[in-house]
Chain A
Amino acid sequence: MTLPYVINLLYQFADNVAFLLLAALGLMIILGVLDVINLAHGELIMLGAYITTLSYNEMHLPLPVCVLLSVIGVALFGLVLERTVIRRFYRDKLGALVATWGISLILSQGVLILFGPSLVSVPLPQWTVGYGGYAFGGYRLMLFGVAVLVVWLAWWIFYRTRLGVWTRATMQNPEMAQALGISTSRIYMLTFAAGSALAGLTGALYAPTTTIVPLMGTTFVDVAFITVVVGGGTNPIVGALTSSAFLALISTPLSSVLGTFIGRIGLLIASLVIIRFLPRGFSGYLRDAGRRRMGRGLVS
């Protein structure tokens, strides 16, 4: 148990947290505000990766510009999606789920038909940092930094801006919010676009680290869904943070010792156990616990 070994574990932990956070946050925000599960989330991530890869390879734009294009592109796509399809399912959560699943099929198969089975990846920037016999990827450390930044930004918007207040009001009581003059329709639209933008960002940022294939979204939603289930829809930010930290805590030692695959099985089992005892996820449980501590009962 040398220091470099611990640092290596911490690095892997941070890497896992970043992956879970970036993969799940967009989905959780959409769930929290619109009460809708977007099963096309993985394909939005894939679109982000494809936009970045194509603009890098075909148009030779610098990587940051490609990432920006991805974010904007997928956000716009999400906007269109929300206006045309999603808003017909506001009251019908399972219906939205199935409809977005249809969209995800159209996207993944469509990309397969248009662009073939794979693309040449964007080369990973080689910013290796060596320490104590271990090599740490600087790019992935940067991704951790981006994840932290993104969560902080989301928190800031939710709790420090008027838009955030309106959004939280819409989350808690849409009818009341409307009566107070908030355009809930616009909030939903913006939130869905923001969630999509996050998906696009995730895909763009992870594009250099993985193979670019039409079904690449599944490697993200695998764990994103578990993160969402464990986090719960009550509070997207608290849920995303606690969930990704907890799950990374489980998967890091497991995958480091027994391989990535066992890590994922461990996550599924962990999520089943959590859901059995905390059916509203961490964010739901924390909200209820907070109420109890204040000497109040639970809202029925």
Chain B
Amino acid sequence: MIEITDLHKSFGKNEVLHGISLKIPQGSVTAVLGPSGSGKSTLLRCINMLEAPQSGTLRLDQLQVDFASVHKKDILRLRQDTAMVFQAFNLFAHKTALENVAEGLIVVKKMPKKTAHAQAVQYLEKVGLIDRAGYSPTQLSGGQQQRVAIARALAMNPKVILFDEPTSALDPELVQEVLTVMKKVSLEGITMIVVTHELGFAREVATDIVFMDDGRIVEQSAPQVFFNNPEQERTRQFLRQIAPDYNYQI
């Protein structure tokens, strides 16, 4: 379980997250929705400490982090427990698909190379890319690259996987294969936080929806409630904008 309390993040003088508090239950799939610039990605990156928040606390099972005075060791610990899947895939360009998945096992988990590669094979199988093991990222389609990135995240056996708009950089016809893999991952009970614009995915796969606007959480609810009976006027406005045809009941 993840518990974030009163997280503040500024870039220079510009505060972009105004005190976020959030509970994410074990094994849940949380879709984070909201207009661009609302701070969704920044929140995700704060959980992984790719961005350093100015204040707030985060608890991930036994690990307790106070952002105002965070120790380097805790950052590394937190990052090992929170894998990240990026919008731009960010596969290591000089390594094959297999080496990408094995890299963290070798360097961070100190696994012998052979064991790491054997495990990496299993994860590539899981995302259906075992026949591309020896390919380098430039030889793979965007969808395939993102599936390798998901395998790379899974291999670290994290407590939570953070997806930062995982399908936004993909050609439309490649989105589905990535969403399918993500759905498969969700069925295994791994906690997932997904910043996305894929409403279909949010409705179908997510167990929780978090709606953000202007650096605040406006509403957190189950998908049925969120899409059919949103509490906040701002949420209704957002849903009307992105899905004008959607006929939610009032």
A and B held together in a complex: no
Residues of B in contact with A (beta carbons under 8 Å apart): none
